[in-house]
Structure 1
Amino acid sequence: MYYPEEVIEEIRMKNDIVDVVSGYVKLQKKGSSYFGLCPFHNEKSPSFSVSPGKQIYYCFGCGAGGNVISFVMQYENYTFQEAVKFLAKKAGIQLPEAEYSEETRKKENKRARLLQVNKEAATYFFHQLRSENGRAGWQYLKKRELSDETIRKFGLGFANMTSNDLVKFLKSKGYEDEVIRDAGLATFDEKFGFHDKFWNRVMFPIQDINHRVIGFGGRVMGDGKPKYLNSPETPVFDKSRNLYGLNIARTARKNQIILCEGYMDVITMHQAGFSQAVASLGTAFTEGQASLLKRYTDEVILSYDSDGAGVTAALRAISILKEAGMTGRVLNLEPYKDPDEFIKNCGQEAFQKRLDGAENTFFFEIRMLQKDYNMQDPESKTKFYREIARKLCGFSEEVERENYIQAVAQRYQISVENLRRLVLSYAMQTGYAQPVERPKSGIRKKNTAEEGVRRSQRLLLTWLTDMPSLYPKIKKFITPEDFTEELYRRVAEKLFDQLEQKTMDPAGIIGMFEEEEEQRMAAEVFSTKLTQLSNRQEREKAFHDIVLAVKENSYEQYLAGSGSDVNALKGVIEGKKALEELDKTHISIEES
């Protein structure tokens, strides 16, 4: 839903950034700012700063930065709308109601009703597990070595032996048969009539990222079939677009997510401290689940069973992760079958070592591929190398492909040149990829001139933010159009307007940008530490040089793009005069 700018502004103003951030990070005041350990990367020395005056945060270690809304988005992994709702509720601000058609309103009411009945069912199962009826389920979970805290954390429950206890309970709460059925909690057949879908099972509530119960998984006690039973697809439960445990894993701050197969694997890993674990919901890993994971991480570690089915599932998941633009690694749990079994036998530290040494997905694919070839037979070995060459052609980026060629050649005892020729041959025969070209003149030099331009523009904005009194002294020479870097130009337009009004709102300027990277870059402008110079004369020279550098670059760009008509010539002459005047102008900096 779209919220008016004035509503967003009110929410931002009524949520002091220090108050909000201190709810997540332990902050200590130093000077005019607060500092703490960055919640977005691992560090031992505090480099995460929060400025109450500017209402922004910035990490000098990893570069994360923004205003109070972007902090909540980044920490909670919320969308913009979710962050706005969260902060509005925190500040007691009533958001405008969305206007729905009658049909849409009915759908929303139906969804709300299904979520309510699921919550009631989860509560019912939770209490049954702790009753005499749930003794078998409780004993099963204890046999699996789950603590009381873990059982409570995941809301585990039990569905009784009888086949209509839940239906009776939900009806007593006022829920209609249609709602109970549409939530996937009950079914009808001629033998039993309208009865519970789950019975004699340990129950695993499935929650969406906002901790709402959307479905269930049930593990049968004894030898009943099927061993695991999941809720059917419903208006609130789409198996292909949800993951078990993601509501917890998304805030784990581990820079990765472990993807496994079963509910118990997830629960065991969380209990052992690996709270970044999730599992698919009784189905193969899907493109929708990959898209969901991409919101929270760039790296996925696959922790599938080590049997044949697990390997097949891992290979399929690798392909999906690549399509989604994510990197992956594969966890080797041998000689154990799954994470639950491994952790129980070897412990947390051993599992962490396996996690740290998880295998690159490309090498995993090659290792699995090698099993199909007899490496003692020259012909079979050659076919294996050709298959490697085919897979290497899948890397569209030349640098990445060349890196893998060298790594594979070393690992599989083939010369780099021979493997490169195989790749080249396959690429030219199939048109599958462009051949790798060797660099002709060594390493390409960085475009230091371009970076110097960006740095000058960024530093000028930082000076003006730290010392607004400088703005009247340079506005004759510098306008927003002189900032040739688009993001800095947009910042300058807003900042200069605020300085004209004798106000300054860095958090509001950051809020103009929608992309996280743009917000980070804007926050950097307001958080850059200026070099501490020993005296006033040095400071004045440094500032003058930066102003002159920005103006010179602007003039050079104008000169390069100007034509040959009278107006263009006039502009060039005026620009040249302005540069000469600026060069001779002394800009004083009053000592603070």
Structure 2
Amino acid sequence: MRYSDEVIEEVRARNDVVDVIGGYIHLQKKGSNYFGLCPFHNEKSPSFSVSPQKQMYYCFGCGKGGNVITFVMDYENESFQEAVASLAERAGIELPQEEESEESRRQADYRSILFAIQKEAARYFYHQLMSENGKRGYLYLRGRGLSDETIKNFGLGYANQYPDDLYRFLRQKGFSDAQLKDSGLVKIDERGCYDKFWNRVMFPIMDINNKVIGFGGRVMGEGEPKYLNSPETPIFEKNRNLYGMHVAKRNRKSYFLICEGYMDVISLHQAGFTNAVASLGTAFTVQHGLLLKRYTKEVVLTFDSDGAGIKAALRAIPILKEAGLSARVLTMKPYKDPDEFIKNMGAEAYQKRIDEAIPSFMFEIQVLRDGYDFSDPSKKTEFFEEAANKLRTFEDVLERNNYIEAVSRTYGIDYQILKQKVEEHAYKAPQAMQQERKQVQKKREKDEGLKAAQRLLLTWLSDHPGQLNQLADIIMPEDFSDSLYQEVARLLYKQIEQGKGNPAELLTNFIEDESQYQEVAKIFNGELVQETSGSEKTRGIRECVIRLKRHSLQKEADTTDDIKRLQEVMEALKGLDHLNISF
């Protein structure tokens, strides 16, 4: 059910943001705020700030911010309702309940309905696989070397050859056409209702809480596409889930294996490698990396050994690095994928390949080397120039020197010569980038200047609500530059008029739009960037007021057709420099 604003505010207020976030990451008090390493991106120096006064958090590195509810939503991958329920339980708050029938209860929670549909579909597909109807799919899986125990553990199934088989079954369970369409399992259009999956072996996709959220299907015989996945739904986001993660998160090994496909994961799990996961038919993303980082610090890429697999590995390496994970790359040659390797060489040989996996940087250099003909001296020189350019990207001197030594030893170049080349590239790169950086910075400062002034003004007002009486005579909500800032100003003015100024509560109004609540979180953390003296702050606020009012008046002057009003606006613009403001 949807909770009232009063209930939501009680839950938020009873869960101190420092206590809650401190249960997930280490926080250290600095001044009036707490700082730690951001859990949403990789960083070495703490830039994640938690304000007990505002009851909000904000990362000055990646821009992620919000209140205690949005933190739980993002960190635990929960919906708004689920996060409120979790925090209510933590605070000992009993949420209001309604006397409902089973059907009305499902109607009250849309996500629960979708979970229920996926669960029923998984049961149905498994039942079909184990019946005479699914014999073709069962023999295919057994032919791929899967045991009955593995088939059961992964809940594998079969979608019949009839195009509306699942639809009719789920309708009998009481689900409506609209619900089934939104589940991603059924297509409904002017031609009728029919299943998305048919004549396919089915792979249920589970989230980290062991709930079925979608499916992958492998066609039997000829047909395109060979593999088909559920579309994204309110409970299924491909870039926030990994196949096999619900099992892999419980393994005790210090690393995870990242594969490309369902069968690779299943074959590895059956062989004892229960730390294997795979992306869901999409490229590896930063969100995947951050999900892995919750459980490990190291991953081993076990992508296919063909060209597509190599490209996928090269794309994944910088993403993993950004997420703060170290990565190694395993070679399966002469076999194509983990499934094929395990069948031919066995688990012991695969473990040996894992132990021999090379660091991701050396893999990148190896792929680079394969593109040059070393019999041609000029091409060989080009390779070492490119290698030196890549080596200079290491910020840590010791790490950089270790890799210079490794590359020089592997590819037969004198260490000192290669080190000199790296230093040359390190010197040239900042010079080449300096001009471009200046141009980008200038444009950014121009675009951000007005918003920065507005953020500082709103932040200051939330900290000094008693100044509203003086400010409201000069700056009204409609003076702010866009609809979001106008709405924030309107809500803040209203809060202050009611005797409070609470940014964390105000933020809840924007929680359904992630981009908006991140921007609002940024607004109310603007003043945390730099501490200034009282006189400097007063002068800064006065400049923000004048800048914002000038922008608003100039905009009106450019658009009004009323001559009398235009004259008034022009007079107001002239008077801004003499505006009497004292805070």
- What TM-score do the two structures reach when normalised by structure 1? 0.57
Measure, in 1, the Cα distance between the counterparts of 2:428 and 2:330: 35
Amino acid at match of 1:296: Y
Answering whether residue 111 of structure 2 is matched by residue 111 of structure 1, we say: yes
Q: Which residue of 1 aligns with 2:456?
A: none
Measure, in 1, the Cα distance between the counterparts of 2:414 and 2:108: 63
Measure, in 1, the Cα distance between the counterparts of 2:400 and 2:369: 20
Percent of paired sites with the same residue: 55
Answering whether residue 265 of structure 2 is matched by residue 266 of structure 1, we say: yes
Measure, in 2, the Cα distance between the counterparts of 1:108 and 1:243: 29
Answering whether residue 158 of structure 2 is matched by residue 158 of structure 1, we say: yes
How far residue 188 of structure 1 moved from its aligned partner, in angstroms, is: 2.3
Amino acid at match of 2:341: F
Q: Which residue of 2 aligns with 1:294?
A: 293
> For this pair of structures, how many residues does the alignment match?
358
Alignment of 1:331-480 (within 5 A): 331-431=330-430
Amino acid at match of 1:196: D
How far residue 189 of structure 1 moved from its aligned partner, in angstroms, is: 4.1
SS, match of residue 219 in structure 1: strand
SS, match of residue 426 in structure 1: helix
How far residue 96 of structure 1 moved from its aligned partner, in angstroms, is: 3.2
Work out whether residues 204 and 212 of structure 2, in 8 Å CA contact, stay in contact via their aligned partners in 1.
Answer: yes
How far residue 97 of structure 1 moved from its aligned partner, in angstroms, is: 2.5
Q: Which residue of 1 aligns with 2:147?
A: 147
Work out whether residues 374 and 381 of structure 1, in 8 Å CA contact, stay in contact via their aligned partners in 2.
Answer: yes
Amino acid at match of 2:180: I
Work out whether residues 107 and 113 of structure 2, in 8 Å CA contact, stay in contact via their aligned partners in 1.
Answer: no
SS, match of residue 407 in structure 1: helix
Q: Which residue of 2 aligns with 1:170?
A: 170
Work out whether residues 287 and 324 of structure 1, in 8 Å CA contact, stay in contact via their aligned partners in 2.
Answer: yes
Measure, in 1, the Cα distance between the counterparts of 2:271 and 2:92: 41
Deviations 1:462-518 (A, max 9, x none): xxxxxxxxxxxxxxxxxxxxxxxxxxxxxxxxxxxxxxxxxxxxxxxxxxxxxxxxx
Measure, in 1, the Cα distance between the counterparts of 2:418 and 2:335: 35
Change (3 A) 1:342 1:170: same
Measure, in 2, the Cα distance between the counterparts of 1:203 and 1:122: 8
Change (3 A) 1:317 1:137: same
Answering whether residue 171 of structure 2 is matched by residue 182 of structure 1, we say: no
How far residue 409 of structure 1 moved from its aligned partner, in angstroms, is: 1.4
Amino acid at match of 1:121: A
Q: Which residue of 1 aligns with 2:135?
A: 135
Measure, in 2, the Cα distance between the counterparts of 1:237 and 1:156: 18
SS, match of residue 375 in structure 2: coil
Work out whether residues 157 and 204 of structure 1, in 8 Å CA contact, stay in contact via their aligned partners in 2.
Answer: yes
How far residue 374 of structure 1 moved from its aligned partner, in angstroms, is: 1.4
> Structure 1 unaligned runs (5+)?
10-76, 100-104, 435-592
Deviations 1:276-304 (A, max 9, x none): 00011011111111111111111111111
Work out whether residues 331 and 354 of structure 1, in 8 Å CA contact, stay in contact via their aligned partners in 2.
Answer: yes
Q: Which residue of 2 aligns with 1:438?
A: none
Q: Which residue of 1 aligns with 2:196?
A: 197
Change (3 A) 1:106 1:119: closer
Q: Which residue of 2 aligns with 1:227?
A: 226
Measure, in 2, the Cα distance between the counterparts of 1:314 and 1:115: 33
Deviations 1:29-73 (A, max 9, x none): xxxxxxxxxxxxxxxxxxxxxxxxxxxxxxxxxxxxxxxxxxxxx
Which 10-residue stretch deviates more, 172-181 or 409-418? 409-418
Deviations 1:280-330 (A, max 9, x none): 101111111111111111111111111111100110011211121211011
Q: Which residue of 2 aligns with 1:208?
A: 207
Q: Which residue of 1 aligns with 2:121?
A: 121
Deviations 1:118-157 (A, max 9, x none): 1111111111111111111100010011011100110111
> Structure 2 unaligned runs (5+)?
1-10, 20-74, 98-104, 434-583
Measure, in 1, the Cα distance between the counterparts of 2:431 and 2:207: 40
Answering whether residue 246 of structure 2 is matched by residue 241 of structure 1, we say: no
Q: Which residue of 1 aligns with 2:446?
A: none
Work out whether residues 255 and 297 of structure 2, in 8 Å CA contact, stay in contact via their aligned partners in 1.
Answer: yes
SS, match of residue 428 in structure 1: helix
Work out whether residues 427 and 433 of structure 1, in 8 Å CA contact, stay in contact via their aligned partners in 2.
Answer: no
The match for 2:94 among 93, 96, 108 is 96
Q: Which residue of 1 aligns with 2:308?
A: 309
Measure, in 2, the Cα distance between the counterparts of 1:343 and 1:155: 22
SS, match of residue 209 in structure 2: coil
Deviations 1:546-578 (A, max 9, x none): xxxxxxxxxxxxxxxxxxxxxxxxxxxxxxxxx
How far residue 353 of structure 1 moved from its aligned partner, in angstroms, is: 0.4
Amino acid at match of 1:211: N
Change (3 A) 1:222 1:373: same
How far residue 222 of structure 1 moved from its aligned partner, in angstroms, is: 0.8
- What TM-score do the two structures reach when normalised by structure 2? 0.57
SS, match of residue 109 in structure 2: helix
Change (3 A) 1:255 1:340: same
Measure, in 2, the Cα distance between the counterparts of 1:94 and 1:166: 42
How far residue 419 of structure 1 moved from its aligned partner, in angstroms, is: 0.9
Amino acid at match of 1:267: I
User: Whose helix proportion is higher, 1 or 2?
Assistant: 2
Change (3 A) 1:198 1:432: farther
Change (3 A) 1:114 1:408: same
How far residue 84 of structure 1 moved from its aligned partner, in angstroms, is: 13
- Provide the alpha-carbon RMSD of the alignment: 3.2
Change (3 A) 1:98 1:78: farther
Measure, in 2, the Cα distance between the counterparts of 1:405 and 1:262: 35
Work out whether residues 88 and 94 of structure 2, in 8 Å CA contact, stay in contact via their aligned partners in 1.
Answer: no
SS, match of residue 223 in structure 2: coil
Q: Which residue of 1 aligns with 2:500?
A: none
Change (3 A) 1:230 1:79: closer
Measure, in 1, the Cα distance between the counterparts of 2:161 and 2:85: 42
Measure, in 1, the Cα distance between the counterparts of 2:206 and 2:87: 22
Q: Which residue of 2 aligns with 1:529?
A: none
Amino acid at match of 1:299: E
How far residue 352 of structure 1 moved from its aligned partner, in angstroms, is: 0.5
Measure, in 2, the Cα distance between the counterparts of 1:78 and 1:112: 17
Work out whether residues 393 and 432 of structure 1, in 8 Å CA contact, stay in contact via their aligned partners in 2.
Answer: no
Measure, in 1, the Cα distance between the counterparts of 2:108 and 2:414: 63
Q: Which residue of 2 aligns with 1:61?
A: none
Measure, in 1, the Cα distance between the counterparts of 2:432 and 2:155: 51
Amino acid at match of 1:122: A
Q: Which has the larger radius of gyration?
A: 1
How far residue 268 of structure 1 moved from its aligned partner, in angstroms, is: 0.2
How far residue 106 of structure 1 moved from its aligned partner, in angstroms, is: 10
Deviations 1:370-404 (A, max 9, x none): 11111122211111111111111111111111111
SS, match of residue 431 in structure 1: helix
Measure, in 2, the Cα distance between the counterparts of 1:144 and 1:232: 27
Answering whether residue 245 of structure 2 is matched by residue 250 of structure 1, we say: no
How far residue 98 of structure 1 moved from its aligned partner, in angstroms, is: 8.2
Work out whether residues 393 and 433 of structure 1, in 8 Å CA contact, stay in contact via their aligned partners in 2.
Answer: no
Measure, in 2, the Cα distance between the counterparts of 1:153 and 1:4: 41
